[in-house]
Structure 1
Amino acid sequence: MNFFEYIKDKRFFLGFYVMIMIFVSLTMLVSVHSIPIGNILYIHIGCGLLAILYIVLGYFYKRKFYVNLHDMIESGLEDIGSLTPHIQNHQQMLYVELLQKMISNNHAQLQKLYDEKRDQQEFIMAWIHEVKLPIAASRLLMENSEGKSIEYLVDKLEDEMDKIDHYVEQALFQSRTDSFAKDYFITDIPVKQVIHKSVKKYAKLFINKGIRFQMEIAGQVVHSDSKWLGFVVDQILMNSLKYTNEGGEISVRFEEDRKERRLVIKDNGIGITPEDLHRVFEKGFTGTTGRLYGKSTGMGLYLAKKLAAKLGHDLTIESEAGEYTRAIIHFPKIRQYFQFDEH
């Protein structure tokens, strides 16, 4: 800030000073007879010199703050918060606090965008490796098709296509979670209908692995969105099928008490180790079972948990290694759907 810009900022003070001096001069002329004009002139000169001295000293006093502030703007450094100028008064303190808050908020937003971009890249890389497996298996089937019946080849290719379809659907839902607020419709959903649709989608896996399915659900309904709730159930059911050995069992039942309704999906598969249980909902976490039973994106349960929360539900996992895994979707009875988490 140069001196002329400082004078411009002081225009209201100068205007007020001129008004005061005019008032004082008129008062002296009216109240005192035959007052020498020289006395009034001396008063004007003296007060004017004091006003000029006040403005000049004030300029040099505040100049350092404004010079440092200008240097911050022109520095081009990312971490300009470390260049905060020395505070001289309360007004400058408020300016600096506002600036620091804006810098902090900006850094937080940039970090959030960076984390989201990194997570998206990690998911894409893991997803590419995952989806390449059924594609490679399909090519091997075609290359080694000699001597195999058409029915056998079609059956195997259909299995691989189902895997690809599952991964593509997972990627699509991952890409749409940010626009969730514009893409849901809460209504009464028959639980049995959602389960039937999901079981039908994975019917071939049930048959091929000889897994028994039991359902204890009558006509119960929950307040949810059928598409997004269906995706949550799909992820849970797919995990159960993946980690349940041949001849195993998956059961679904509906529970209700005074506070909530619960959809419980249980399998007697390999279970989850105690050290992994508290991390199953972390993004990209595959755990011991994921490493032993093949590479996984580690996104299924993460997305299921995230979408359940957006719907106002909750998702919890109970398990004992080598015995069972129980996934529970909680539906609180007191709902205010317009307060959904949209982050």
Structure 2
Amino acid sequence: MNFFISYVKSNIKWILSFLLCEGILFTLMVMNGNPWEEVCYAVFLGVFLLVLVFFADGIGRWKRYRKLLEMEYSVAFSLERMENPQDILEQEYQKLLSILFEEKLRQENGALEMQREMREYYAMWVHQIKTPISALKLLLQEKGPVGEMEEELRELFFIEQYVEMVLSYARLESETTDFVVAPVKLDEVIRSSVRKYARMFVHKKISLEYEGTSEVVLSDKKWLQFVTEQILSNAIKYTSKGKINISVKKEGTKHIFLVIADTGIGIREEDLPRICEKGYTGYNGHAHRRSTGIGLYLVNRIRKKLGHSLSVYSREGEGTKVVIGFVLADTEE
């Protein structure tokens, strides 16, 4: 309907001109005393030819219109698919479109190149900054008796965590993210994450409950390690007293769930739907100095790429439970 209205409007001058000519012809034939049959026949013939011409032209324009609509929704848009211009005005419009399209491609390629260079720079910076961090850690450990530099070591640990988060973020944005899905021993990943945060468990006097597991899941060990560390980090960060429980629950013969539950401050109900949004910290995050709103965002992106499920249950003041679902690896092969 929109096409019909637009087509009539674009040809309204020709339609009015034809009707004017028909009116003049009708008047002259009547004044000359021509029989009414001849007058009506002449008018009908003129209208018929007008409808025939506009119908044929309209069909052609409709086909071109449909072609343009298909190109709009095409994934790989190219000006080469456009039909040849029918007049000089269309030719100039197509030239203009070609210039704009080439400029768009140039800007897109420039932006992609800039992003690539920035990712490479961040990756290089992270690798370089790890060396002085490791050296500083050794210096602090050798500076005095055990426990004397504990606060400094904790702050250095946080710096190291943020640096690793930057590297993971840069890798996720890369076009060649190194995901390698293979059988992974879940127990090794969990224990490695727990050892990494052992200092924080001791400092905050939080007890850990974990009985171990022999299950093997399909995942990427390095990225799964990052996911468990982020969830464990949040559990420790928002738990001032009590315990953290890590358990593994099997469902059927194909699926298994890793459950990390804490007795921390919990999450407000209105914040739960948005906790995986980039930069979103929620009410408790605003109250906590170290909240960035990036950890769970990265966790959610990684688990989607790995094909894992993620569920978060929480009540403010009672604690939070995070459940990650895996597909079990076929260990018989």
Alignment check: 8 A CA contact 2:314 2:321 kept: yes
Alignment-mate amino acid for residue 161 of structure 1: L
Q: Describe how 1:234-249 pairs up with structure 2 within 5 A.
A: 234-246=229-241, 248-249=242-243
Matched, 1:317 2:312: yes
Change (3 A) 1:267 1:76: closer
Alignment-mate amino acid for residue 184 of structure 2: I
Q: Which residue does 1:97 correspond to in 2? A: none
Q: Which residue does 1:304 correspond to in 2? A: 299
Q: How far is the alpha carbon of 1:154 from its aligned partner?
A: 1.9
Of 230, 248, 261, 2:256 maps to 261
In 1, distance between residues paired with 2:236 and 2:85?
76
Q: CA RMSD in A?
A: 3.7
Q: Describe how 1:139-154 pairs up with structure 2 within 5 A.
A: 151=146, 153-154=148-149
Of 310, 318, 323, 1:328 maps to 323
Q: How far is the alpha carbon of 1:64 from its aligned partner?
A: 2.0
Q: How far is the alpha carbon of 1:69 from its aligned partner?
A: 2.5
Alignment-mate amino acid for residue 249 of structure 2: E
Alignment check: 8 A CA contact 1:216 1:254 kept: no
Give the TM-score, by structure 1 length: 0.57
Q: How far is the alpha carbon of 1:199 from its aligned partner?
A: 0.5
Of 160, 168, 181, 1:186 maps to 181
**Which digits, 9 at most, give the CA deviation of each residue in 1:168-226, with x for residues without a partner?**
11111111113475523322211111111000000010001110000133211111111
- Name the SS of the counterpart of 1:274 in structure 2: coil
In 2, distance between residues paired with 1:167 and 1:60?
57
Alignment-mate amino acid for residue 250 of structure 1: I
Q: Which residue does 2:10 correspond to in 1? A: none
**Which digits, 9 at most, give the CA deviation of each residue in 1:205-262, with x for residues without a partner?**
000111000013321111111111000000000000000013x100111111125210
Change (3 A) 1:160 1:77: same
Matched, 1:250 2:244: yes
Alignment check: 8 A CA contact 1:260 1:331 kept: yes
Of 191, 206, 211, 1:196 maps to 191
Q: How far is the alpha carbon of 1:296 from its aligned partner?
A: 2.1
Alignment check: 8 A CA contact 2:217 2:329 kept: no
**Which digits, 9 at most, give the CA deviation of each residue in 1:151-174, with x for residues without a partner?**
554222111111111111111111
Q: Which residue does 2:282 correspond to in 1? A: 287
In 2, distance between residues paired with 1:288 and 1:159?
25
Alignment-mate amino acid for residue 308 of structure 2: H
Change (3 A) 1:311 1:63: same
Gaps of at least 5 residues in structure 2 are 1-83, 123-132
In 1, distance between residues paired with 2:151 and 2:232?
21
> In percent, how many aligned pairs have the same letter?
35
Q: Describe how 1:109-128 pairs up with structure 2 within 5 A.
A: none
Change (3 A) 1:314 1:152: same
Of 150, 159, 165, 1:164 maps to 159
Matched, 1:173 2:139: no
Alignment check: 8 A CA contact 2:219 2:306 kept: yes
Alignment check: 8 A CA contact 2:184 2:216 kept: yes
- Name the SS of the counterpart of 1:256 in structure 2: strand
Change (3 A) 1:153 1:323: same
Q: Which residue does 1:69 correspond to in 2? A: 94
Alignment-mate amino acid for residue 307 of structure 2: G
**Which digits, 9 at most, give the CA deviation of each residue in 1:281-310, with x for residues without a partner?**
001111111111214221101101111111
Alignment-mate amino acid for residue 208 of structure 1: H
In 1, distance between residues paired with 2:307 and 2:102?
43
Q: Describe how 1:26-45 pairs up with structure 2 within 5 A.
A: none
- Name the SS of the counterpart of 2:260 in structure 1: strand
Alignment-mate amino acid for residue 156 of structure 2: M
Alignment check: 8 A CA contact 2:308 2:325 kept: yes
Alignment check: 8 A CA contact 2:218 2:329 kept: no
Change (3 A) 1:295 1:196: closer
Give the TM-score, by structure 2 length: 0.59
